[in-house]
Each structure stands twice: as structure tokens, then as C-alpha cells.
Amino acid sequence: MDARTQAWLDQEAANVAATIRRYGWFIQYVGGDSCSRPGCDCPESDDPPFAYTVGLFGLAHPELLILGVGPHTAAGVINTLGGRVRDGEALLPGQLITFDEWPHRIIPETVPNPGEIVLEANRYYQRPAEASVSVLQLSYDDNEGRFPWEENYATPEMQPRPGTFKA
């Protein structure tokens, strides 16, 4: 690894650690036009954008992952749920979660391949992919109230099923 990339990684690690100390978690957003690595020549992707937490694992809770939403929505959902976790609530697979400020419902699902997705979380906790932190995918309903596993879900490509997606 060249010195420029190593310096950037060191600064990124310091930023992640400082954000976790201040707020309790960091949100890593991937996709869209979010490439900030020096010399980034990331190709266009047909994969949906996604965001996940780094830091909830330190609160004895799985990290949270949401796919197919923009950075503002991802941050709103994750920060709301992160606050609930910080306040002692455990989010469980299969649990129906509602919001006062967001019209969709969420059902968390266990991610069977977290080591292929939450690269920053594993780097922060110094865990190899095969011993990855645990992750819950926040699957949300469409405007008609259907979830991604239900027939006629509006945009299945935006929420790949757990285990079928990797970064």
C-alpha cells in the first residue's frame, strides 16, 4: 500500500474513532457518488447504495445495515434506531419497527455474510471477515406496505435479500 493511501486510512480511522466516542456510532455510506479515497477510480455500479453503523457492536448489539436509500434517509433511520439501542432497546430479527417521523416500517433480518459488507466495522474492531461483527439488515416496506419478500414489492433491486448482497 502506498504512503498516500495509508495516510488517508489512518485519518479515516481516527475520524471513525472520534465520531464513535462522541455519538456512540459512525455511519458508513457506500454508493452513489460517495467515493472519497485518494486516486479513487471506482466504476459505476448497478448495486444499490447502502449504509451501516460502526460502533453498535461495542454496545453488545449487531451493527445496522440499510440498502437502497439516500444518505439523508439512511442517517435518519440509523440515528433513530441507534438512539433506541443506546437507550437499552434490543432490535431483534423479525421485529416490526415503526417510526413517528418516517412513513415506512422496518423488519430487521440477520445478515449471513456480514464480512463481505461491513468492511469498515471489521477494520475498526480489527476482525477478519470470517469472524465479522454481526449485522441486521433493516428491510423496509414499500408505499403499499409490502416487504421485499412479498409478491409485487415495488423495487426488489433496491433491497437485495440478506446473503445475496456484498460490497
The three-state DSSP-derived secondary structure of 115-158 is HHCCHHHHHHCCCCHHHCCCEEEEEECCCCCCCCCCCCCCCHHH
pLDDT, average across residues 22-50: 73
Q: Is 89 helix (H, G, I), strand (E, B) or coil?
A: coil
- Asked whether the predicted pLDDT for residue 113 surpasses 90, the reply is yes
65-92 burial by CB neighbour count: b if 16+ within 10 A, else e? bbbbbeeeebbebbeebbeebeeeeebe
Nearest to 155 by CA among 167, 137, 138, 141: 141
Is residue 26 within 8 A of residue 44, CB to CB? The reply is no
pLDDT, average across residues 136-159: 97
Domain ranges of the chain: 27-35+44-158
List, for residues 131-147, the tens digit of each pLDDT value. 999 999 999 999 999 99
Cβ-Cβ contacts under 8 Å for 56 (sequence gap 6 or more): 24, 25, 62, 63, 64, 82, 85
List, for residues 63-98, the tens digit of each pLDDT value. 999 999 999 999 999 999 999 999 999 999 999 999
Question: What's the half-sphere exposure (Cβ side, CA atoms, 13 Å) at 2?
Answer: 5
- Asked whether the predicted pLDDT for residue 38 surpasses 50, the reply is no
pLDDT at 45: 60
pLDDT at 157: 94
- Asked whether the predicted pLDDT for residue 37 surpasses 60, the reply is no
Global pTM reads: 0.90
Query: What does residue 31 show for φ and ψ, rounded to 5 degrees?
Result: 115, 180
Is residue 118 within 8 A of residue 52, CB to CB? The reply is yes
pLDDT, average across residues 47-57: 96
